């Protein structure tokens, strides 16, 4: 069995910088991890894949999922191996993600950071609402094979994320969050175009719905009634609030973006939980 396998999910073609600074550290593209694997004498490889190519079996002890827009510290693999050696019951190791777009959007767009005071590592197994995106996660080979990790692929949606998988593995493994396993997300102005933004929120809704799909039929009906009929304002509480700015009421393009994003989140939630296409 190999020590480690790094899967780099190919994204949109763009001219990406050779490195960038985040958290006062120099960060490098995901492909840089190949150098580390060689330097540490680990058995393993770095594979560039499409979402459709990802297999649900691995012959590695650890699988790291990154993409072309993910930047990591120069010693990221060393940190991964170290934490894995310390927490042998881990099914998932994850950490913060910081966006690099110089805009107000970057305050929350693609941001993933949990606050646990001075704690370097925290067990978030029972905190379903705090689960990470799969991009940037480290999965133990045992958990990967036991619960058959796969991306979310439907007729209209493809995503490396799989909240159902994250929920399932907690039956036998732990999910650990560490502030030292941080990554940077490289974004461009094109990443805040309406179509891209709404797809991001559709995926967020779909993943929330996917996590809820394990509930009983009665629980699903109650969830739908509460969210869509009885208390539709619940979506305002569960959705990220960073899009809302009352000073932008007169901005037609902004209003269009806000409405579309909220609708796409709701559609995603419905389709993720029930496995049905709305339209």
C-alpha distances in angstroms, 163 versus 34, 129, 169, 193, 274?
Answer: 28, 10, 10, 26, 14
Sorted by where each begins, the domain ranges of the chain are 2-189, 193-274
Query: Which DSSP symbol is given to 229?
Result: I
The reported pLDDT for the residue numbered 24 is 87
- What are the phi and psi torsion angles at 149 (to 5°)? -55, 140
pTM over 0.85: yes
pLDDT at 145: 97
| Cβ atoms 135, 9 nearer than 8 A | yes
Question: Which pair of structure tokens corresponds to residue 173?
Answer: 């493994």
pLDDT of 31 strictly over 60: yes
The reported pLDDT for the residue numbered 220 is 85
Q: What average pLDDT does the structure give for the chain?
A: 88
**121 phi, psi to nearest 5 deg:** -130, 135
> 205 with 157: CB under 8 angstroms?
no
- Give 139 or 234, the one with higher predicted confidence: 139
Cα torsion angle, 230, 232, 235, 237, sign:
negative
Residue 45 main-chain phi, psi, to 5 deg: -155, 170
pLDDT category at 165 given cuts 50, 70, 90 is very high
pLDDT classification of 117: cutoffs 50, 70, 90:
confident
Strands 97-99 and 183-185: parallel
Return the CATH class of domain 2-189: alpha beta
Mean pLDDT of 191-204: 87
Q: Is the pLDDT of residue 222 over 80?
A: yes
Helix, strand, coil shares of the chain, percent, nearest 5, are: 40, 20, 40
pLDDT-derived band at 252, boundaries 50, 70, 90 = low
Which of helix, strand or coil describes residue 27? strand
| pLDDT confidence tier of residue 247, bands split at 50, 70 and 90 | low
Determine which helix (DSSP H) or strand (DSSP E) holds 35, and give its type and residue range: helix 33-39
Using only the alpha carbons of the chain, give its radius of gyration.
19
């Amino acid at each position: 069995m190999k020590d480690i396998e790094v899967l780099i999910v190919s994204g949109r073609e763009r001219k990406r910088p050779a490195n960038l600074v985040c958290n006062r550290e120099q960060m490098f593209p995901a492909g840089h991890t190949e150098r580390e694997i060689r330097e540490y004498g680990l058995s393993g490889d770095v594979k560039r894949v499409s979402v459709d190519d990802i297999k649900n079996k691995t012959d590695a002890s650890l699988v790291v999922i990154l993409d072309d827009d993910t930047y990591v510290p120069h010693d990221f693999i060393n940190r991964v191996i170290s934490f894995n050696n310390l927490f042998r019951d881990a099914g998932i190791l994850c950490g913060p993600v910081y966006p690099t777009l110089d805009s107000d959007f970057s305050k929350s767009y693609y941001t993933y950071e949990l606050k646990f005071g001075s704690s370097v590592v925290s067990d978030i197994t029972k905190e379903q609402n705090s689960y990470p995106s799969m991009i940037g996660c480290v999965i133990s080979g045992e958990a990967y094979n036991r619960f058959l990790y796969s991306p979310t692929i439907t007729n209209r949606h493809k995503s490396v994320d799989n909240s159902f998988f994250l929920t399932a593995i907690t039956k036998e493994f732990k999910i650990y969050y560490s502030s030292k396993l941080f990554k940077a997300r490289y974004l461009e102005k094109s990443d805040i175009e309406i179509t891209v933004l709404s797809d991001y929120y559709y995926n967020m809704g779909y993943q929330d719905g996917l996590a809820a799909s394990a509930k009983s039929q009665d629980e699903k009906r109650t969830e739908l009634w509460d969210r869509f009929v009885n208390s539709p304002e619940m979506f305002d509480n569960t959705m990220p609030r960073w899009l809302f700015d009352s000073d932008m009421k007169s901005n037609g393009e902004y209003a269009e973006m806000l409405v579309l994003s909220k609708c796409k989140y709701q559609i995603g939630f419905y389709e993720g939980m029930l496995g049905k296409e709305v339209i």
